[in-house]
Chain A
Amino acid sequence: MVLISKQSIREYGKGLALIVILLIVWEGIALLIQNNYILPRLGEILSVLLQPAAPVLGGESLIQNTIQSLKEVLTGFLCAAAIAIPLGLLIGWSKEVQKYLNPTIQILRPVPPIAWMPFAIAWFGIGFNSILFIIGMGAFFPILINTVDGVQGVRLRWIEVADTFHATTFEKLRTVILPGALPVIWTGLRVSFGVAWMCVVAAEMLPGTTAGLGYLIMYAYNLGQLQVIGAGMIIIGIIGLGADILFRAGQERLFGWQGRE
């Protein structure tokens, strides 16, 4: 899968073409209007990106800010998964549990994670824990919903096979339900990671934060340094893309059987 063939270069080329065009248009307009407060030149953004270890605007470096954000995302994401997957297995397995929990879940699900911010600050104070809570809230539901769907999509026949061998409920969960639902759970994790990444940036924009890419963007905004904002956005985008590629590669490797039964 990782082999770079002529064909895959051509496929990537199709996607890259639009990016190149957008960059040219950007640079063209920036040259025309000559106003750094509206549209900074690409060169200025690039010069920020090319010194990732240097302090930015008198604060932490790009690398340090990125690591801070990644730490928050990964912790929040993993906490959310640790709760959402077992809960999803339970809800998917038991129609009765689903009846009790579903209304609550469906009411909480559409609430934007950032709306929890005042509560988060009141409960956990300013800083890491509050951000974790916000990210967790965002990451939780895609994993939960997909786990429930995954479990409910497991073929009845597979469970019957386990039944003919007198499997206990726990054995069925471990040997059939979990592996059978895993591809869909994985999709939930992929979606969830993207949401978590969006949440971290938003959460860091709130007062009291001192590091992270979201914080950097907000800080640069206050100082009118649009090239730093551009650099921050590019890093966020690239990390999001990278995570998605990793999840997709994992999907292909782990669940190659999907759709080919």
Chain B
Amino acid sequence: MMEPVLSLDGIKKTFRDSEKSCPALAGVSFDVAAREIVCIMGPSGCGKSTLLRIIGGLDYADAGRIDQTSGNKDGKPSAAMVFQDHALFPWLTVYENIVYGLRLSVQNLAEEEIGKRAESLLDLTHLNAFALSYPHQLSGGMKQRASVARALAIKPSVLLMDEPFSALDTFTRRELEDEVLRIRQDLKTTFLMVTHNPEEAIYLADRIVILSGRPAVVSDILQIDLPYPRDPADPAFIRIREQVTRMIQGKA
């Protein structure tokens, strides 16, 4: 296996308020290698999103270590995040949304360089014609593509995605899953993605990390050895899907 870009070691998290404490993560450990697509699955409410938020810097772990190699020259850890709701800024054009993180994360970047990166991301996500449109003028799939482009703009070492396509219809969803595979090919991006859809996980992932019910630990890591592009109607695919479903149901 290649050098990991992200390494989790014994991540623990308990939510506390004045009345009760609610353990969510009880020591989660696994690695993600460069250019890998890893999907996190598990029974609902098991802390998948919490884990992703901790890696993305939106929440703190009570214990454990996160080692992250930096994608940028300046050495800052650079995980970017795509949320289930596109979370685009409605007052900015698609172009301005895409360069938003770039302007914040990378100081003193020349406007010309910003423009160049935006241009290539607009190409990559087929949004050239909509660069100057506002989010409310886009379809759901286009919004989520813009959101992915915004995250990719900072050249993250790992792209975190929290059920990114679950609000989309089946066809748009497959289209965007194919784009994830293409982006990995073109940009050598690493993906860590939470999903509750076994088919999506098997369609995309090199490995599937399955978490146990609350408080969560890693219960299984499943290597998917099917060649890309994968066919959900393939009997091998279906076998794995049934296996994954059983594994998750057993945890709930």
Which residues of A are at the interface with B, using a C-beta cutoff of 8 A? 157-158, 160-167, 171, 175-176, 179-180, 182, 255-258, 260-261
The total of Cβ contacts below 8 Å across the A-B interface reads 60
For the complex formed, measure the closest distance between the CB of B207 and the CB atoms of chain A, giving whole angstroms: 24
**Given known A-B contacts A165-B100, A255-B91, A157 and B58 have beta carbons under 8 A apart:** no
Is there an interface contact between A165 and B104, defined as CB atoms closer than 8 Å? Answer: yes
User: Which among A160, A164, A261 is the interface contact of B101 at CB below 8 angstroms?
Assistant: A164
B120 at the interface (CB under 8 A from A): no
Q: Which residue of B lies closest to A259 (CB)?
A: B136
Q: Which residue of A lies closest to B143 (CB)?
A: A261
Is there an interface contact between A165 and B105, defined as CB atoms closer than 8 Å? Answer: yes
Tell me which residues across on chain B come within 8 A of A260, comparing CB atoms.
Answer: 90, 136
Is there an interface contact between B83 and A157, defined as CB atoms closer than 8 Å? Answer: yes
> In whole angstroms, how far apart are the Cα atoms of A160 and B19 in the complex?
27
For the complex formed, measure the closest distance between the CB of A254 and the CB atoms of chain B, giving whole angstroms: 9
B135 at the interface (CB under 8 A from A): yes
Tell me which residues across on chain A come within 8 A of B80, comparing CB atoms.
Answer: 164-165
Which residues of B are at the interface with A, using a C-beta cutoff of 8 A? 56-58, 76, 79-81, 83, 85, 87, 89-92, 100-101, 104-105, 134-136, 154
Q: Is the interface of A mostly helix, strand, loop or mixed?
A: helix
> In whole angstroms, how far apart are the Cα atoms of A179 and B90 in the complex?
10
Q: Which residue of B lies closest to A261 (CB)?
A: B90
> In whole angstroms, how far apart are the Cα atoms of A164 and B83 in the complex?
11
User: Which among A161, A166, A167 is the interface contact of B76 at CB below 8 angstroms?
Assistant: A166
Tell me which residues across on chain B come within 8 A of A166, comparing CB atoms.
Answer: 57, 76, 104-105
For the complex formed, measure the closest distance between the CB of B202 and the CB atoms of chain A, giving whole angstroms: 28
Is there an interface contact between B85 and A157, defined as CB atoms closer than 8 Å? Answer: yes
Tell me which residues across on chain B come within 8 A of A171, comparing CB atoms.
Answer: 104
Q: Which residue of B lies closest to A168 (CB)?
A: B104
**Given known A-B contacts A164-B57, A165-B154, A167-B104, A179 and B91 have beta carbons under 8 A apart:** yes
In the assembled complex, 28 residue pairs joining A and B whose CB atoms fall closer than 8 Å, in A order, are A157-B85, A158-B87, A160-B58, A160-B81, A160-B83, A161-B81, A161-B87, A161-B100, A161-B101, A163-B58, A164-B56, A164-B58, A164-B79, A164-B81, A165-B105, A166-B57, A166-B105, A167-B104, A175-B104, A179-B92, A180-B91, A255-B91, A256-B136, A257-B90, A257-B91, A257-B136, A261-B135, A261-B136
> In whole angstroms, how far apart are the Cα atoms of A256 and B90 in the complex?
9
> In whole angstroms, how far apart are the Cα atoms of A167 and B89 in the complex?
15
Tell me which residues across on chain A come within 8 A of B57, comparing CB atoms.
Answer: 163-164, 166
Q: Which residue of A lies closest to B156 (CB)?
A: A164
> In whole angstroms, how far apart are the Cα atoms of A257 and B101 in the complex?
21
Is there an interface contact between A256 and B134, defined as CB atoms closer than 8 Å? Answer: yes
> In whole angstroms, how far apart are the Cα atoms of A167 and B154 in the complex?
13
For the complex formed, measure the closest distance between the CB of A153 and the CB atoms of chain B, giving whole angstroms: 13
> In whole angstroms, how far apart are the Cα atoms of A257 and B134 in the complex?
8
Tell me which residues across on chain A come within 8 A of B135, comparing CB atoms.
Answer: 257, 261
> In whole angstroms, how far apart are the Cα atoms of A219 and B173 in the complex?
73
**Given known A-B contacts A160-B58, A163-B58, A164-B57, A175 and B100 have beta carbons under 8 A apart:** yes
Tell me which residues across on chain B come within 8 A of A163, comparing CB atoms.
Answer: 57-58
Besides A161-B89, A165-B100, A258-B90, 5 other A-B contacts (C-beta < 8 A): A163-B58, A165-B101, A179-B92, A180-B91, A261-B90
> In whole angstroms, how far apart are the Cα atoms of A164 and B76 in the complex?
12
Tell me which residues across on chain B come within 8 A of A255, comparing CB atoms.
Answer: 91
